[in-house]
Structure 1
Amino acid sequence: MAKHREITILGETVLPGESKTINMEIARLHTMTKLKVPIIVERAKTDGPIVLFSAGLHGDEINGVEIVRQLIVRKINKPKRGTIICIPVINVFGFVNKTREFPDGRDLNRVFPGSKNGSLASRFAFHLLNEIVPHIDYCVDFHAGGASRFNAAQIRIVPNNEELKQLADVFNAPFTLYSKNISGSFRSACGRMGVKMLLFEGGKSLDINNDITQDGVKGAKRFLAHFDMLNPKKNAKEAPGPSIYIERSGWVRAKFSGLFQLHCNVGKFVEKGEVIAYITDPFGKFEHKVKAPHAGYIINANDAPIVYQGDAVFHITQKLQHD
């Protein structure tokens, strides 16, 4: 691994042993109010890897923001060696508006590598890739489920990549999901630039869940300990068991519209035919059971109180035919 003597972001240099918060300001609100994206850089005097912990790529995914905030406030981001960069909120415009997208309606996670003179979201993508990503070796990007769907804590990696598999084992989230890169995503762009990224999914949008937060923080500590970067005062606890790897999974969709009532927890293993929810009408005329179509772990559940016919209500793992 190459030695990292100087790191210069947006014209500001951070030397070994220094701490600095660099504010990225690309555009203002329509009221002329400044909106800054704090980039928090902590460098040890001893050389080592450069790790990025990022969140808020989607402005309404607050749980990831809370995970990175805890890494900062608990001083987990002060490394024994190497450098830790934290960006708690990338999409600050969406964060202010409590929306997934940028004000231009674009999903930042679909416009990478971006353009210096493109749309607002595209400009953010461009600066992220050109100012920060060239410096980093590893990244953990924290996300949450959208549209009222609650994700079990999971790491997503591309299949057939042994180094990412080893890093996922180190992070050791309750679940690890094989997932191909999506065109225009931050993960895809980082992969093309040689950065090893783990994508964390957990919880749902516009929500903070303590269990998910702790899964993220504990995994980050194990990740740093693996590279001998974790502050000796911090203790990386082993997970209760090995991560459950998922190669295939499928959605269960509502067969009726109505009030939706969950009857199982995310992360639970269910048997084929087990009742996992009910769909009822507001007037007491019907009550339909939602049954598991096969045995598997529930890795995502719809938390919405009302669903329509065809809505995705559960994501359940499937066994491979050769299992």
Structure 2
Amino acid sequence: MDPHEFVIAHEKIPRGERRKVLLKIGKLYDNTEINIPVEVIRGKKPGPVLFVSAAIHGDELNGVEICKRLLDLRQLKELNGTLLVIPIVNVFGFNSLSRYLPDRRDLNRSFPGSPNGSLASRLAHIFMTEIVKKSTHGIDLHTGAVHRTNMPQIRAETDDPETLRLAHAFGISVIIKSNVRDGSLRQSGLEHKLPMLLFEGGEALRFEESVIKVALDGVLSVMHEIGMLDQLRKSRRPKSKPYIAKSSFWMRATRSGIVRTIGRIGQLVHKDEVIAVISDPYGDEIETVVARLEGIIIGALLLPVVHEGDALFHIATFEDPEKVEESLSDLDEYGL
């Protein structure tokens, strides 16, 4: 539960107050100060402390819009507990439309960080100290990389009962029990026993309305599940039955050239089914790429040119992939 007086960046925020707090993280070459803005919303009643963060990779923009719309909701006036919303964690990368920090380090490989390390390490340390360690739950919003798109999905440590409860509450079809990466925010959250979800949806440098709507509904559903909201707004999106993937794997280009992708996001593909055709620019030396196993396509390359070994499709395997595909097709009429 949140304390009566919540302290962040040396500011004391009582219950029932909403305030924007700036986490100081450094300066530019010209001495301009750089801060991470955090919107702190405290309900009048005690409850969980949830952080919702976006743009740890500075070019992943869907999460920024999700956070903005979350902050605009009137429902937050009836909040129980404390909500910390951080629309832009990697402010350096966001302002340069880059995944990385100025030193080319990946912030999401730099946690838990250090007060005396690199720029990425220091930023990670500040985020851990001021946000993660003061929270009871977390949701981190991501997209695919540049020229790659991800179907809306949750990545979580499903062996933890509380995290699994959050994943089910989010209400989308695909949950991936993915291995945590060294230095990731999710790894540090696990080490602090923080129930945390990572949402993936869409591609970098884009606003995608369907992804934004799905994720916003999911965040609100989680808040309702943990008692931060007593009522949910009406949504025209039917809540999906979640399915936990058994595993996932990448299908890669077998040669360099021009690729024509046949598989699509959300499609069930069978073992040995042709999912892409690669040729040289003259139409010669054609090769086909076939699915290694049966599964659902949850991520895809959007570029038509590839080098040998480039990732083409991310495929997740399930106990009953037909039911997963059916669940996904039920959402097509909603543009989701």
TM norm structure 2? 0.88
Q: Paired residue for 1:253? A: 252
Q: Paired residue for 1:187? A: 186
**Residues 160 and 233 from structure 1, CA distance in 2 versus in 1: closer, same or farther, beyond 3 angstroms?**
closer
Q: Paired residue for 1:140? A: 139
Question: Retained in 2: the 8 A contact 1:54–1:140?
Answer: yes
**Residues 56 and 3 from structure 1, CA distance in 2 versus in 1: closer, same or farther, beyond 3 angstroms?**
closer
Q: Deviations over 1:190-247 (max 9, x none)?
A: 2222321111111122222222111211111111111232264733667443112112
SS at match of 1:8: strand
Q: Paired residue for 1:270? A: 269
**Residues 148 and 78 from structure 1, CA distance in 2 versus in 1: closer, same or farther, beyond 3 angstroms?**
farther
Unaligned runs of 5+ in 1: none
What code does the residue aligned with 2:304 have? P
What code does the residue aligned with 1:5 have? H
Shift of 1:13: 1.1
1-structure distance, mates of 2:298, 2:206: 17
Q: Paired residue for 2:315? A: 316
Q: Paired residue for 2:102? A: 103
Shift of 1:297: 0.3
Unaligned runs of 5+ in 2: 320-336
Shift of 1:150: 1.3
Q: Deviations over 1:261-291 (max 9, x none)?
A: 3333212212233332332332333544333
Q: Paired residue for 1:173? A: 172
Question: Retained in 1: the 8 A contact 2:220–2:232?
Answer: no
* Mapping for residues 81-230 of structure 1, pairs under 5 Å: 81-230=80-229
2-structure distance, mates of 1:63, 1:158: 23
What code does the residue aligned with 2:255 have? F
Which is further off, 269-278 or 168-177? 269-278
**Residues 44 and 301 from structure 1, CA distance in 2 versus in 1: closer, same or farther, beyond 3 angstroms?**
same
SS at match of 1:26: strand
1-structure distance, mates of 2:60, 2:110: 18
- Cα RMSD (Å) of the superposition? 2.0
2-structure distance, mates of 1:281, 1:260: 9
2-structure distance, mates of 1:258, 1:150: 20
What code does the residue aligned with 2:271 have? K
Identity, in percent, stands at: 37
TM norm structure 1? 0.92
Shift of 1:77: 4.7
Shift of 1:167: 1.4
SS at match of 1:82: strand
Q: Paired residue for 2:20? A: 21
Question: Retained in 1: the 8 A contact 2:257–2:281?
Answer: yes
**Residues 76 and 289 from structure 1, CA distance in 2 versus in 1: closer, same or farther, beyond 3 angstroms?**
farther
Question: Retained in 2: the 8 A contact 1:249–1:318?
Answer: yes
Shift of 1:162: 1.9
